[in-house]
Chain A
Amino acid sequence: MNEVNNAYLLKELQEQFMDAIHSVEEPYGMLTIEIDRVQIVPLLNFLYQHPVIQMQFLTDLCGLHFPDNKGKELSVVYHLHSFTKNIRLRIKCYMPIEAPQINSITSVYEASNWQERETYDFFGIEFVGHPNLKRILNVDEMDYFPMRKEYPLEDQTRTDKDDKYFGR
């Protein structure tokens, strides 16, 4: 039987999703692929049901914002883990900030439910098909997405604020 390593994993993925894979990297030993965002659910299903790889654990899901990356401003990063073969995989999907939609993966992993809500909450990425897409950590009335890079932290040295009610 073949040993399951990054090369094998990549070969299997390329056989099935040749056109969808945009780039392949291997930073610090973890195979990282960038794929077309419409292919995310089929790809995860393929990995989940693959008889050898059995990538059945979603470790992490988070968003990123690259304001200078025109047309690919927002990204969602998935970390997957196969317990049987002990191999990890990182998948990235990019999308333009004007149309931040990606299919929800809650049909594959229930664990993604809150993580997708968190990503929506902070980056405004809309997960199509999510059962309950609303803010999770911030207040419901918030009308912006605070982890985007255009929102800086408040300048700690500003003087135009009246702090007398805060004991400062």
Chain B
Amino acid sequence: MEDNITEFDYKSEYTTLNLGPTHPATHGIFQNILTMDGEIIVDTEQTCGYIHRAFEKIAEHRPFYQITPLTDRLNYCSSPINNMGWHMTVEKLLGVDMPKRVDYMRVIIMELARIADHLICNSVIGVDVGALTGFTYVFQWREKIYDIFEEVCGARLTTNIGRIGGMERDFSPACIKKIREFLQEFPRILREFTNLLERNRIFMDRTVGVGAISTERALKYGLTGPNLRATGLDYDVRVMSPYSSYNDFDFVIPVGINGDTYDRFMVRQQEMWESHKIITQALENLPEGKFFAEVPEFYLPPKEEVYNKMEALIWHFKIVMGEADVPVGEVYHSVEGGNGELGFYLVSDGGRAAYRLHFRRPSFIYYQAYPEMIKGSTLSDAIVTMSSMNVIAGELDA
């Protein structure tokens, strides 16, 4: 009988648990096949691809301006950042410089999008530890940000905001008013949200030390954005390779220490304050001038001119039919997205569509670290860890 005890197969006692693909706690379509020993996670395998839409293939068949709506659907919590990133990639390929006003307008919109993204992510961490109040409360303020987007471009979630070569229209007085109102009111809201969670005993007990990762492992796994900064490394694309005049603004990069769920939450909280600071500076110093650059091959002329002027009509036709010439070349451009370094690798052979366009989707790369972060923890901790990583299904699967 002694032998039987030593040969007892512990593995047969493990339970397999399917978390997903459509599970309310995963906030998106992911499947995690967990091997559980009681409530402890022993091993996990991730499957993805449930909402794969072949964006990279579609992008090879479309003129450049039609790729912007595809980028909307990557990280749909901060789609303006994706749009701007794509515009800037094409502008880099064409070698055109934007007027300062465009840069500042873009910065305002991108930082608003960052606040919207972080509000969702942080309040969802609250939801997953049982605090629904904060989520419903700050969600109204995400709606206010979307009101501003609506004022700029007419859309709310998948914005398709801006154009290659500038913005589609100038900020209207109503839009400026809405941004000012937001800047004035938002600190109060964020402080209230802070009071609700940041030093909340229950929240801290649930998040401190949960799902931690060290800086070395984070770098090996290619983490970027708030997840990397929570481990203590201050890598931010806005500072390392400034784009869109980010070097004009005064802001700091918040970093964490332990790389756990609480640090990721805190880094996002601080980043919202920094974004608020950047928007204030950009709005105060918004330069006068044009809201678009002189790239007639890509920037749609105003409608009145199209109806009345021959040249504008020709450009309009050429742009819409995708007849504009592009230089041959390859370019990599990255922006600091809501959840990390969002990169665009564009190879152009001079044709009307991209020869190859590859999206560096941050969550696709850092989601690989998830098994290592949750091994040995409980199921409830795994769920909090996942929401704190800000993995967006649309970006994961492209």
Contact = CB atoms under 8 A, between A and B. Distances in A.
A interface, by DSSP: helix, strand, loop or mixed?
Answer: mixed
A144 B221 CA distance: 29
Contact of A147 (B57, B241, B341): B57
Nearest to B366: A111
Contact of A111 (B56, B61, B220): B220
A93 to B, nearest CB: 15
A122 B59 CA distance: 14
Contacts of A110: 220-222, 368-369
B332 A90 contact: yes
Interface in A73-87: 77, 79, 83, 86
A79 B345 contact: yes
A62 B58 contact: no
A64 interface: yes
Q: Which interface residue of A57, A86, A111, A152 has the most chain B CB atoms within 10 A?
A: A111
B360 A64 contact: no
Contact of B52 (A27, A62, A137): A137
Q: Which interface residue of B93, B219, B222, B343 has the most chain A CB atoms within 10 A?
A: B222
B61 to A, nearest CB: 5
A59 B358 CA distance: 12
Contacts of A153: 57-58, 61
Contacts of A58: 222
Interface in B300-357: 329-332, 334, 341, 343, 345, 347, 356
B358 A28 contact: no
A65 to B, nearest CB: 8
Nearest to B333: A28
B54 interface: yes
B154 interface: no
Interface string A117-152: 010001000000000000011110000001100001
B235 interface: yes
A115 B365 contact: yes
Contact of B368 (A28, A86, A114, A152): A114
Contacts of B219: 56-57, 83
A120 to B, nearest CB: 13
Contacts of A115: 364-365
B263 interface: no
A32 B219 CA distance: 23
Given A115-B365, A147-B57, A137 B49 contact: yes
B92 A114 contact: no
B368 A79 contact: no
Nearest to B344: A60
A77 B347 CA distance: 11
Interface residues of B, number: 37
A79 B332 contact: yes
A79 B343 contact: yes
Given A86-B241, A136-B49, A137-B52, A111 B330 contact: no
A103 interface: no
Given A57-B219, A110-B221, A137-B52, A64 B331 contact: no
B48 A136 contact: yes
B332 A88 contact: yes
Contacts of B52: 137-138
A114 B56 CA distance: 16
Contacts of B92: 28
Contacts of B334: 59
A30 interface: yes
Nearest to A56: B219
B329 A27 contact: yes
B360 A59 contact: yes
B240 interface: yes
A152 B60 CA distance: 10
A8 interface: no
A136 B347 CA distance: 24
A111 B221 contact: yes
A113 B332 contact: no
Given A28-B92, A64-B356, A111 B368 contact: yes
Given A28-B92, A59-B341, A110-B369, 18 more contacts: A28-B93, A28-B329, A60-B358, A83-B233, A83-B240, A90-B332, A109-B220, A110-B368, A113-B368, A114-B365, A115-B364, A115-B365, A137-B397, A138-B49, A147-B57, A152-B61, A153-B58, A153-B61
The 4 A-B pairs of least Cβ separation, nearest first, read A111-B222, A137-B49, A62-B358, A137-B52
24 contacts: A27-B331, A28-B329, A28-B331, A59-B341, A64-B347, A77-B345, A83-B219, A83-B240, A86-B241, A110-B220, A110-B221, A110-B222, A111-B221, A111-B365, A113-B368, A114-B365, A115-B365, A136-B48, A136-B49, A137-B48, A146-B57, A147-B57, A152-B61, A153-B58
Interface of A: 27-28, 30, 32, 56-60, 62, 64-65, 77, 79, 83, 86, 88, 90, 109-111, 113-115, 118, 122, 136-139, 146-147, 152-153
